[in-house]
Amino acid sequence: MTQAIAPRSRKVRILATLGPASSTPEMIATLFEAGADAFRVNMSHGDQQSKVAVIQAIRALEEKYGRPSTILADLQGPKLRVGKFEGGRVTLEKGQTFTLDRDPTPGDATRVELPHKEIFAAIEPGARLLLDDGKLVLRVTSHAADTIVTEVVVGGALSNSKGLNVPDVVLPMAALTEKDRSDLAFAVDQGVDWIALSFVQRPEDLAEARKLIGGKTALLAKIEKPSAIERLEEIVEACDGVMVARGDLGVELPPESVPPLQKRIIEVSRRLGRPVVVATQMLESMITSPSPTRAEVSDVATAIYDGADAIMLSAESAAGAWPTESVAMMNAIGEAVERDPTHGERIHFTVIRSDPTTADALSEAAKNIAHTVDAAAIICFTASGSTARRVARERPGVPLMVLTPNLETARRAGLLWGAYAVHTKDVESFEEMVAKAKRMALRHGLAVAGDRVIIIAGVPFKTPGSTNVLHVVRIIGDELKDYI
């Protein structure tokens, strides 16, 4: 039996990662009720078979609540690691020489295996090597085909198979490993809505994933490497959505550089009309505590004021002791920020210049007219979701109802700012479009008798990319009979 749930009053979306603390059908439903709009399935942990039940539980929300569900599958990407040590652990001292080589013999305090030939081909003198999430720092002094000689800049304990970051060079490595290709095929077969690609260094890294996806799902690029920043606009143009992966960015770059980069990535993504997710350590202390720090609350609020489409919980909802409370807190912060009278002005600090197209012109006009006539909602008829993305890019001050005959389009809208998607039959005529828009606005509680709503669509109907109609209508009392 369908249990109706009212549209969120908040426009920023919440993306909750599922894991050991939150993978049961009951917990997934609880997180949705607490405010989660979309769910992240992390392919780095567990096997594919364990993900089947999780994906089915997310889809079951559609029947229970009568709303499209949104699933993002996050691929692991290449993981760079050093080899093993005799005894499992060594200590590196500042100023000493330390060598990385291709010899699989267990290492010691002077050397260790580095089983990634691509690094040897790309490394340059002066480049940094960061070990164990940046806790240790090496600087390359010389290199050969099978050895990299470094000076220890920041020392410390180093144990078996610790992670390695190479922030100063572009590595000749594909963004997809064999595991990723298998996981991607699995995710597409399971019908997920978004694929998140890790280790993106350049726009070309997205090409193989695009080919393997075959248009069956949307592609999101995780911006987590300095080399990606250098070609940011090209990468954003080549994908369907973007994630500000602050954890890895904060390892490979000075921490103080991450906040301005976050703002830049959001600005570029918004300008190019791509949904943008801000992720990592947003409410980190709630992994173990039922309440966040004030600094964390401010961090989440900043992302919302910057105009991010979505904000993401990682370990807080996946493995923490307080998953429901984390989602509820994120929801509360979003609602509080969006009640701020200055919120509307602040999210428009980013100047969005419309492209010289009819669809962009009408999307901008819809936002302005909604403000001028105090409309209750903008109602967008779309097949591909392109028109909805254009309207959302304008950050209108009213709800955006997305009516689409394509279930896939409705599901993907779960990461889109302000969007309330409804999977419904297509319309055949202008009159049917107007009547349906009014009925849906009433049925879903986005308008009442006497309200104006703005309709944006394309004629002829069922023609993708034909957005050319903007219509303002008032809902009158008699039309409630159609709804009742």
Q: Is pLDDT of 108 > 80?
A: yes
Q: Are residues 324 and 257 in the same domain?
A: yes
Among 218, 314, 313, CA closest to 274? 218
State residue 167 phi and psi, 5-degree precision: -80, -20
Q: Domain ends where: 314, 343, 372? A: 343
For residue 353, being part of any structural domain is answered with no
CATH of the domain at 200: 3.20.20.60
Give the β-pairing of 13-18 and 38-42. parallel
Regarding whether 133 and 270 lie in a shared domain, the answer is no
Question: What are the pLDDT digits (tens) for 331-342?
Answer: 999 999 999 999
40 is catalytic: yes
User: Do 308 and 414 lie in a common domain?
Assistant: no
The pair of three-digit structure tokens given for residue 43, joined into one six-digit string: 């392919």
Within a domain: 352? no
Q: Do 390 and 472 fall into the same domain?
A: yes
Q: What pLDDT band is residue 416 in, cutting at 50, 70 and 90?
A: very high
The boundaries of the domain holding residue 231 are 13-77+174-343
| 311 lies in the same domain as 336 | yes
C-alpha pair distances (Å), 140 with each of 267, 419, 462, 466: 35, 49, 59, 55
Strand segments, DSSP code E, in 298-383 are 310-313, 377-381
Residue 210 and residue 299 in one domain: yes
Over range 190-219, report the average pLDDT: 96
Residues 403 and 452 occupy one common structural domain: yes
Domain check: are 135 and 180 in the same one? no
Q: Is 24 known to be catalytic? A: no
**Residue-level pLDDT at 478:** 52
Measured CA to CA in angstroms, residue 281 lies from 235, 244, 297 at distances of 24, 12, 11
Percentage of the chain with pLDDT > 90?
A: 88
Q: Which amino acid is at 217?
A: T
pLDDT at 484: 32
Domain holding 108: CATH number?
2.40.33.10
CA angle 388, 184, 249 (to 5 degrees): 75
The answer to whether 89 is a known catalytic residue is no
Are 336 and 401 contained in the same domain? no
The pLDDT-based confidence of 481 (bands split at 50, 70, 90) is: very low
81 catalytic residue (yes or no): yes
Which of 10, 11, 13, 40 is catalytic? The answer is: 40
Residue 7 in domain: no
Active-site pick, 280, 324, 387, 467: 280
Question: Could you give the CA distance from residue 49 to residue 51 in angstroms, rounded to a whole number?
Answer: 5
Domain count, the chain: 3
Name which of 111, 62, 49 is nearest 86 in CA terms.
111
CB contact at 8 A, 380 and 471: no
Task: Supply angle C-alpha 432, 435, 441, rounded to 5.
Answer: 135
* Same-domain pairing of 107 and 247: no
Label residue 6 by pLDDT band (50, 70, 90). confident
Shared domain check, 195 and 111: no
Please give the backbone phi and psi of residue 70, each rounded to the nearest 5 degrees, phi first: -125, 130
The CATH number of the domain holding residue 374 is: 3.40.1380.20
205 domain residue, yes or no: yes
Catalytic residue among 11, 13, 128, 222: 222
CA-nearest of 395, 454, 374, 387 to 421 is 387
Selecting among 59, 81, 216, 474, the annotated active-site residue is 81
